[in-house]
Amino acid sequence: MNSLREQKPGLEARNAAWEVLQLVAAGAYADVALERVLQKRKLKPLDKRLVMELAYGAIRRRFFLDSWIDYLGRVSACKQPPLLRWLLHVGLYQIFYMERIPMTAAVNTTVELIKLTKLEKLAPVVNGILRSAIRSKEQGIELPLPVNSAEILAQAESLPIWLSEQIICWRGEKEAEKIAKAFNQTPPFDIRVNRLRITPDELLRQFLAVDIDCKKIEGCPYGLQVSPNSVELRNWPGYAEGQWCVQDRSAQWVAPLLDPQPGDQVLDACAAPGGKTTHLVELMGNTGEVWAVDRSPSRLKRFMDNATRLGMNSLNILSADSARLLNKRPDWEKYFQRILLDVPCSGLGTLARHPDARWRISPEQIDELVIVQTKLLEGLLPLLSPGGRIVYSTCTIHPKENINQIEQFLSRHPELILLEEKQTWPDLDRGGDGFYAASLEIR
């Protein structure tokens, strides 16, 4: 790697981004792949940022970049050797989306990289495609338009066609375009202030005092938006003291919907890694009996680290399948005044945060998730005490997992009343993920 760094500035960062793309294509999650690739290298903070921007950007824009390969190459993107396809994405992404990178640097580094592989003889192909792309861009030539509006949106904003069709069907063409654009933005970095330890104003002052840009979030009283800098997050003010945790602004309105009272018995049935449970404990002033249940022991381990840092000692933790919790804990029948059910879902509201997620999820998987969510709802209802409240939440925008799921649940259970239902859509101006929550009370 040192030799790469010496050969040409920026070559190593592009090589690292290319490796991330290959790992993601082989099934790794983008954040895990990025971390693994960065750990192997000693890169300067600026280069690290370049790797992240290039890798995440090229993964997000896969459809658009493939369309250019289809248009300019002799062989379509899908039929290219994968190694070449992903490297072309790194080069094309710089040409189409990174104004500050000189076109020649984008071409030269990409050609250099292919020469270091067994595909070295394809260097002229790389050179040819990238130079044609630059000419097209300079002459204002655009990709041929597909036949219908869903395909046009899918190509322009790099969405799977099925998702583009769905969003247009739910929101209409104009709104769908805005949502798709929001999916391609770098999301704001939000934290939630731990009110048990500090006020938002005081924490804001501490961030500004060390020159970390930070501001309040409208409509989110305990949320602060921070502009990440090169300082490791764990070294930010108040981290070690448990004064805050990372949580998107949309996720911060879920726990308050449950309206937990100090002293309540509260169950968070899908709790790990604990963003919302710890919020509940904060709302309850660290009193009462809070149970955090999750099926995944490894995610619960992360949960415990987080809860300890935040100083939450009223928490109880259990690893179990919440759809069958009553089998394990028969004493919990009608036990809880409050239940939070933040179900496993397709995550379609968080595509800006997870660049690879759009290529992972399929309509068939969503149908399977809907069944899991229904089982959780049905399995947990008997644990709710009379007059108690259950909040069902997701980080998706798919109606099957949200409004339809709750409509059907209500129709099976006339003893339930819908108190409140909220859906946010990804939004360029407001920022924040797409989220859904319904609050239900049992008579």
Ligand X SMILES: C[S@@+](CC[C@H](N)C(=O)[O-])C[C@H]1O[C@@H](n2cnc3c(N)ncnc32)[C@H](O)[C@@H]1O
Per-residue contact string for residues 372-411; x = within reach of ligand X by CB under 6 A: ----x-----------------------------------
Q: Is residue 349 near ligand X by the rule CB under 6 A?
A: no
Name which position in 241, 321, 427, 441 contacts ligand X (CB under 6 A).
Answer: 321
Q: How far apart are CB 407 and ligand X at their closest, in Å?
A: 21
Q: How far apart are CB 324 and ligand X at their closest, in Å?
A: 8
Cβ-based nearer residue to ligand X, 154 or 348: 348
Cβ-based nearer residue to ligand X, 68 or 336: 336
Which residue in this structure is represented by tokens 């090169």?
A: 230
Q: How far apart are CB 31 and ligand X at their closest, in Å?
A: 15
Per-residue contact string for residues 240-259; x = within reach of ligand X by CB under 6 A: --------------------
Binding segment (CB under 6 A) for ligand X, from list 95-103, 123-131, 321-329, 420-428: 321-329
Question: Two tokens at 48?
Answer: 């690290």
Binding segment (CB under 6 A) for ligand X, from list 32-40, 146-154, 288-296, 406-414: 288-296
Cβ-based nearer residue to ligand X, 12 or 248: 248
Cα–Cα distance between 339 and 385 in angstroms, integer? 10
Name which position in 73, 223, 273, 426 contacts ligand X (CB under 6 A).
Answer: 273
Q: How far apart are CB 273 and ligand X at their closest, in Å?
A: 5
Q: How far apart are CB 343 and ligand X at their closest, in Å?
A: 6
Q: In this structure, are residues 361 and 159 in contact, taking their beta carbons and an 8 Å threshold?
A: no
Sign of the CA dihedral with 34 first, then 189, 339, and 268 last = positive
User: What DSSP character marks residue 260?
Assistant: -
Catalytic residue list contains 169: no
Q: Is residue 276 near ligand X by the rule CB under 6 A?
A: yes
Q: Is residue 271 near ligand X by the rule CB under 6 A?
A: yes
Q: In this structure, are residues 276 and 300 in contact, taking their beta carbons and an 8 Å threshold?
A: no
Q: Is residue 281 near ligand X by the rule CB under 6 A?
A: no
Q: Is residue 295 near ligand X by the rule CB under 6 A?
A: yes
Q: What is the distance of C-alpha 54 from the center of its chain?
A: 17
Residue 223 bridge partners (DSSP)? 192
Q: In this structure, are residues 262 and 285 in contact, taking their beta carbons and an 8 Å threshold?
A: yes
Contacts (CB under 6 A) with ligand X, residues 171-190: none
Q: Is residue 283 near ligand X by the rule CB under 6 A?
A: no
Binding segment (CB under 6 A) for ligand X, from list 116-124, 182-190, 271-279, 416-424: 271-279
Q: What separation in angstroms does the CA of 103 have from each of 100, 106, 116, 365?
A: 9, 5, 21, 40
Q: What separation in angstroms does the CA of 240 have from each of 233, 249, 352?
A: 10, 22, 28
Q: How far apart are CB 29 and ligand X at their closest, in Å?
A: 14
Which residue in this structure is represented by tokens 């459809």?
A: 63
Q: Is residue 127 near ligand X by the rule CB under 6 A?
A: no
Q: Is residue 304 near ligand X by the rule CB under 6 A?
A: no
Cα–Cα distance between 340 and 267 in angstroms, integer? 6
Assign 317 to helix, strand or coil: strand
Q: What separation in angstroms does the CA of 155 have from each of 53, 159, 252, 273, 281?
A: 20, 7, 33, 35, 44
Assign 316 to helix, strand or coil: strand
Q: Is residue 299 near ligand X by the rule CB under 6 A?
A: yes
Name which position in 342, 356, 401, 433 contacts ligand X (CB under 6 A).
Answer: 342
Q: How far apart are CB 342 and ligand X at their closest, in Å?
A: 4
| CA within 13 Å, CB half, 377 | 25
- What string of H, E and C letters represents the secondary structure of 28-59? CCHHHHHHHHHHCCCCCHHHHHHHHHHHHHHH
User: What DSSP character marks residue 336?
Assistant: E
Cα–Cα distance between 436 and 401 in angstroms, integer? 9
Binding site for ligand X (CB under 6 A): 270-276, 293-296, 299, 321-323, 342, 344, 376
Active site residues: 395
